[in-house]
Amino acid sequence: MAEESLDLTVSRLGECRIPSPLSHVQFVNDDKRVLYHSDCGAIEAILKEDEGPPCFEMAGPREKIYFDSSKVKCGIVTCGGLCPGFNDVIRAVVLSLFHHYGVKTVFGFRYGFEGLSYKYGHPPVELTPDKVQAIHQQGGTILGTSRGPQDISEMVDTLERMNVNILFTIGGDGTLRGAQAISEEIEKRNLKIGVIGIPKTIDNDISYLQRSFGFLTAVSEATTTIYSAHSEAQGARNGIGLVKLMGRHSGFIAAFATLANSDVNFCLVPEVGFSMEGFLGALRKRLESRHHAVVVAAEGAGQDLMGTTGERDASGNIRLGDIGVFLKDEIKAYFKKAGIDVELKYIDPSYTIRSMPASPPDSAFCLMLGHNAVHAAMAGRTNMVVGYWRDEFTHVPVSAAVSERKQIDPRDKLWTAVLSSTGQPRDMG
């Protein structure tokens, strides 16, 4: 989809007529917008074609709301893999509903979308301020999570049967696609139920979002792991520290962790191909000159080098080959054949990182995401995700958010900075 023709219109359940119960806040007018482009040249080119530049609706509390707070019932569901900040977002949504709007009934649906299906028999949990008071201090999600689709009709039946007016879905692109399908079924039935997505992807790969929660924590913890790998590498002659990080299709964690630690010599990401011959040759030159090296690989890097089965997981994602183990074996075999002794230490901190509590910057981000999700929901928005763009919180239609995957552009400033930091060859085959 061309950026110039991108439709960023957010769906609404109806006209907002009820005065907001909020006071002493700065209300946001519905016509407030956040420009998609920051480049003046791009905006001028669009304006010459008599079209307005693409803009996001700005998030924030509205002076008039759609739902009567005294009658609203809400639901929260968490889906996909674990991610730092899950509990922070749950807590922020619950506390904002109770204390900002006076909503008294909030259900937590257990184990992802399974909790909305009668087949599994997961009873919902009633969430109160007391119940969520300290959950931000622990990792994971108190609601549990799962992967994979469920029957859309059954899920909407549950919402209708329980008189749920607003559903908050916390998850990545698969969860957002599920939220979109739920919204479409709700519309078919002419129901007035809002569906608000809160973006959870530790890989930071959702389109039209500058950042998603969990990403900063992942980069911070990955950097600590890289310090350890560098110490191990420096402590041995021809020492190699190999770190595998998260990033199935997008290498943002690997790239930013590399920039945060200038000791990385090779950063391998899914967006930039390489050959084993090119990589191993460059690694050998590094050892010959400096006698130690640190290699960081995103989990989706180098998949074309390994034989894969084509199998898919519960979410429909192709099961990846293990690039960390593959590189470890290939590096050892190469240097053994060359008659060069190396000392290789391999570290995979993925499950440790994703199950941690959020870092302070991420916690603050989660709080604001949760608050803005509640403001959007109470103002009757639906089929949308709370975004963050140009340092402003925004409303993004789910259709745009899932239209394509956000990835590193090998020609942009980020990858150029990685190459400058590592000194690795731009082309490794």
CATH code, 384: 3.40.50.450
Are 25 and 144 found together in one domain? yes
Residue 186 and residue 251 in one domain: no
Question: In this structure, is residue 184 part of a structural domain?
Answer: yes
Same-domain status, 297 and 370? no
Catalytic residues: 203
**Together in a domain, 172 and 38:** yes
Residue 386 placed within a domain: yes
Same domain, 102 and 156: yes
pLDDT of residue 130 exceeding 90: yes
Indicate whether 109 and 144 sit together in one domain.
Answer: yes
104 found inside a domain: yes
* Entry field: residues in the chain: 429
Region 380-385 average pLDDT: 98
Instruction: Provide the H-helix boundaries in 115-251.
Output: 129-132, 152-161, 173-188, 215-234
Same-domain pairing of 235 and 204: no
What is the domain extent for residue 309?
Answer: 216-355+410-422
174-179 average pLDDT score? 96
Q: Is 246 helix (H, G, I), strand (E, B) or coil?
A: coil
Average pLDDT (269-283) is 97
- Considering the domain architecture, whether residues 252 and 171 belong to the same structural domain is answered as no
DSSP string, 61-107: --SEESS-GGG-EEEEEE-SS--TTHHHHHHHHHHIIIIIH---EEE
Let me know if residue 243 belongs to a domain: yes
Q: Is the pLDDT of residue 338 over 50?
A: yes
Adjacency order of strands within the sheet including 292-298: 266-268, 292-298, 239-245, 343-347
CB neighbour class for 5 (10 Å; exposed up to 12, middle 13-18, buried from 19): exposed
Using one digit for the tens of pLDDT, what is the confidence trace for 28-87?
999 999 998 877 766 666 666 656 788 999 999 999 999 999 999 999 999 999 999 999
Lowest mean pLDDT among 138-147, 237-246, 314-323: 314-323
- Judge if 131 and 279 occupy the same domain: no
Write the CATH number for 238.
3.40.50.460
Is residue 18 classed exposed, middle or buried when 0-12, 13-18 and 19+ CB atoms within 10 A define those classes?
A: middle
In a domain, 428, yes or no: no
Same domain, 267 and 288: yes
CA distance 109 to 77: 5
- 147 & 247 share domain: no
> Is the domain of 366 the same as that of 346?
no
Kindly state whether residue 427 falls inside one of the protein's structural domains. no
- Model pTM? 0.93
Q: Would you say residue 133 lies in a domain? A: yes
281, pLDDT greater than 70:
yes
Percent of the chain at pLDDT above 70? 94
**Residue 43: what pLDDT?**
64
Q: Report the domain count for the chain.
A: 2
Give domain status of residue 374, yes or no.
yes
